[in-house]
Structure 1
């Protein structure tokens, strides 16, 4: 039964291997949604099993605990060596701190981005910065957020390329892509094995916005050119902002200029299996431990 606790971690290894090919074989919108759900599911599953294993392994060392059962009672039915319990506590605490630090950094970066826009003119959700550096990014917020573009970048782009760039950035805001990105990033902080899943999600988000830009201008070559020009001289924006020149520009341009391939039927099934397997194994492990605790309490009374 203890093997149930290992399943989310083994599935994380599978996700490490399959994240990139799954992301390429799914339509961008489906990939962004499914991969971010898979990332947060695996992060929760691994965190939950680490917590339970850690408590069973070292629960007797805690100064405060339940009065009608002990971790040693559960350990008789769920054999967790002391060393494994200590390791689970150390690793779990370290990963939790990584998540907290990342979340604090996200909030700080967002506040800085919003503060930097205070007092700047906004027209229909667009703010143009009088700066010769090349930058463009989307900042979420009340009222739909803002697209920020520098005057220097606009000068480098043709009229159709500007339209493509703005359509790309507006798609980030309209579809709330920041949520998918932040979920994927935090999930990878909670479980480093999910780093490829994070990268695949971020790439899917950018491809999704690329597709929206193609719909707006009607020509994928124009979108590819706008991405390429932006990437050549793009200055970095706020850490929490999404921009057209982010996330594997070469792969995105190649996909834009290639004819769309058929969606592989196994790709959504593969992602769904990862999510279902993670939740099933985590709940099975937690349920078994809970059943043992209930049995111990009943015997004690």
Structure 2
């Protein structure tokens, strides 16, 4: 596991301040054999004065909730100097065909498989909140817009009136008040978009009305590099499993989605999961705490001691 610790040089402090303003671009991973699904390496960040989760999420381009899940013992706003924060930059690929864009809702990540090279670009995304879920779908990029205009739907207008006692403007032109940000990609001919945002907080969370939100730099990269008609799949895979090299048993579990804001989804022990883990009681003892409290990190099932 890599360790990153800031040094007190003027250059590095300036660089860190820039990172607070502008997130790094997507993590890019080389893809191996089709039977290998493990990518990336977890990073350990040593906390210095002034660090907090939203800043670290932007610095390492990971989701806010992913940081929370991976570091349940940490206060996201009052990090103690010298403590270590796990940056969840290692993952298993979802069980999908490696083509186009894949958005796995429970992990709040978007994967783009490059058609010209054996690489995958991974981005954190915001998705629909409870009651306004991002739909599961198999579709395509139907349209690309720069500086899009936002026109709230009637449903949005009624919801805003119920919550705030007034209606929204009929349209919001490009600018700081436009929640679409600077770029938008339409899913097929639907009302759902992959778009930027005028609010940095909310990426890597369930915070939208159903669209997929991205950091400005990330959506610009997609806008510039992903062509019209690129295949898009939105999937729901809270549990990802892999036998790496035919024998190493790896599993990654995320909090399942729920439409009830007052409760968390429970991980279902499916027949596929039972078959993967097998009858080994020691493996189940390792896994049960993760099933009860998913942390989204890759776990290797192996004999202890």
TM-score (norm 2): 0.22
The structure that is strand-richer by fraction is 2
**Larger RCO of the pair (alpha carbons < 8 Å, separation 6+):** 1
The structure that is helix-richer by fraction is 1
Larger Rg: 1
